Amino acid sequence: MLLFMLYHAHDEAVKPAAKTIPKRSEIAVSDTWDLSHLYAGDEAWNADFAKYEKLYPRYLEFKGTLTTSAQRLKECLEFDRELDLLVEKLGHYASLRGSEDSSDNANLSREARFMHLMTLAAETASFLTPELQSIPDATFEEFLQSPLLAEWNIKLTRLRRFKPHVLSEKEERLMAMASLPLGASHEAFSQLTNVDMSFGLIKNERGEEVELSHGAFSSFLVKRDPKLRREAFHQYYQEFDSHKYTLTATLAHSVKTGVFNAKARNYPSAREAALFGDNIPVSVYDNLIATVKKNLGTLHEYYDLRKKVLGLADLHFYDTYVPMVGNIEVHTSFDQACEKILSSLAPLGAEYCQVLGDGFANRWVDRYETKGKRSGAFSSSSYSSPPYMLMNYKEDVFSDVYTLTHEAGHSMHSWFSQRNQKFQDYNYPIFLAEVASTFNEELLTHHLLQTTGDKNMRAYILNRQIDDIRATLIRQTMFAEFEKLTHEMEESGEPLTLESFRAVYRKLLDEYHGKGLVIDDVLELECLRIPHFYGAFYVYKYATGISASLALSEGVLQNPAANREPYLNFLKSGGSKFPLDTLRLAGVNMSSPAPIQSALDLFKRRVKELAELL
């Protein structure tokens, strides 16, 4: 059981000094998150760490006793909950501090200490699940009916599903011991891409030398000058090309780890192992891929429109993010972004907006890019603290406003779940998380379309929604198919090499994007730079999530009074039900291709509307 969350340039008087990424110590404290809700500082964390070190050996007091009575099982579960609350808090703090600067030795040491302790504790408690699963069926059913275990009914019922995949005590101990080294691929990828790799300096549209980074790369892709986009793209990928063999080995071992874990636990495949916990049939995954691939014609039409509007002889990947409306320069400060988001979320009621507004004002968000900071964005929460959001916000990247409301959707999902579910039932699965986040994006789009009378701005927002559906539904489905194919390769004994990865990815690039997009050979290396590929079978949930959220948001927008509460109840449900059941109660049937087709129909209507507007 034991659960835990887991360049500087100077040319005297000739050129302006290069703009480099600031160190964390150089930015305002008000722009960083306030982790004091978790721990006042590192010393307080160390004290709880020492407390956990003393407590976890007590797991052994329960060994051999779980089958004796419902009372004894309850005592064990309550002890486990006490330690889980503590370890979640410890892990949350260590993870967030590590995200602030993954080159800082103190942060690295803290995370390493934590992971080592988790391995020791997992070894000690490795008897729990096998012993619980050894309880005879009749006795287990008797325990479930006992009032003593009423609050644990959901947890125990779900755990029992895993009985065919639980190993012997000795085998579970070995799996626990191996968890850290088997998970090394993601850590190696993170260190290589966030710390070791250097993308050099590049000139921006004002002739200033700036440091190219993951965050700056996205900023360059929306520049109006195609030369700037092309240069940034090739310079960025040159660094990945320089490390392609190391990245290939890292990705290959990540795939092998997934296959090994599935085989060790008697699952038919790595994909089915990944879907089992959420009780998601493989048909949902396959429906997604099949439905998207049947509708790729609209994407190809969109590329033709984009090429024509931008006046390009050829359309490359680095031309697919720049807004098609050229005379709108959008600069949105962080505070302005917060205002837009809160206005857009008004249909969800006063409580939702008040809590989120307080969170923005009271440092739930780590706002800007700093040296060594983790790239991208995320929301992270634990039961005993506010949810936190990591951003690398840039005022000239309007998609960052969407990223912020996306992460706010995750955070508010956590906030409602924490307040309406017991600890053991509050942690909702990612399948549902991506619904709450993309729901917020849809409300933002609706708000922006409703509040602008400017034709060009409307075209800009439509373009943004089209690109959002393209990126979240179609692109993530392509990623999901890549994960499916590469794991099947390993399961059938095919070699995982640089050439085989590139060949599979190139075929998907050609198939999904059609002849309207010129595929630069270096884009094949994209399969080595997607972080989610180093922890597979996550990305399909983005695609199913946006499909469900489009349906739910349409209901709330059309009739807030009738549909607000069902949606808020969805947020409050946490992990108390399996995700497909939760969505059915909210009014969406994800076992059917219908929500995916409906989202793709919206994509088609928006492309047509944009074409007419332009």
Catalytic machinery residues: 407
Q: What tokens appear for 409 in the block?
A: 């959707």
Contact call for residues 529 and 240 (beta carbons, < 8 A): yes
Q: What tokens appear for 35 in the block?
A: 């982790």
Residue 169: exposure state from Cβ atoms within 10 A (0-12, 13-18, ≥19): middle
- In this structure, the strands spanning 388-390 and 365-366 are parallel
Residue 59: what residue type? Y
Considering only CA atoms, which of 48, 124, 54, 58 is closest in space to residue 90?
48
C-alpha distance from residue 293 to each of 287, 297, 549 (Å):
10, 9, 20
HSE-CB of 307 using CA atoms within 13 angstroms: 15
C-alpha distance from residue 143 to each of 73, 74, 148, 155 (Å):
9, 10, 8, 13
Q: What tokens appear for 447 in the block?
A: 């708000």
Q: Render 197-213 in DSSP notation, one character per residue.
A: ----EEE-TTS-EEE--
Contact call for residues 346 and 338 (beta carbons, < 8 A): no
Residue 388 DSSP class: E
H/E element, 365: strand 365-366
Determine the Cα–Cα distance for residues 109 and 395; give it in Å rounded to an integer. 34
| 244-264 vs 226-242: helix crossing angle, rounded to 10 | 70
In degrees, to the nearest 5, what angle opens at C-alpha 347 toward C-alphas 346 and 351?
60
Considering only CA atoms, which of 439, 405, 448, 407 is closest in space to residue 555?
439
Determine the Cα–Cα distance for residues 510 and 100; give it in Å rounded to an integer. 38
Residue 329 DSSP class: -
Strand order of the β-sheet with 365-366 is: 365-366, 388-390, 378-380
Maximal CA-CA distance, the chain: 84
Contact call for residues 509 and 524 (beta carbons, < 8 A): yes
Determine the Cα–Cα distance for residues 581 and 284; give it in Å rounded to an integer. 14
Residue 18 DSSP class: P
Contact call for residues 571 and 416 (beta carbons, < 8 A): yes
Contact call for residues 613 and 455 (beta carbons, < 8 A): yes
Residue 587 DSSP class: T
Contact call for residues 340 and 452 (beta carbons, < 8 A): no
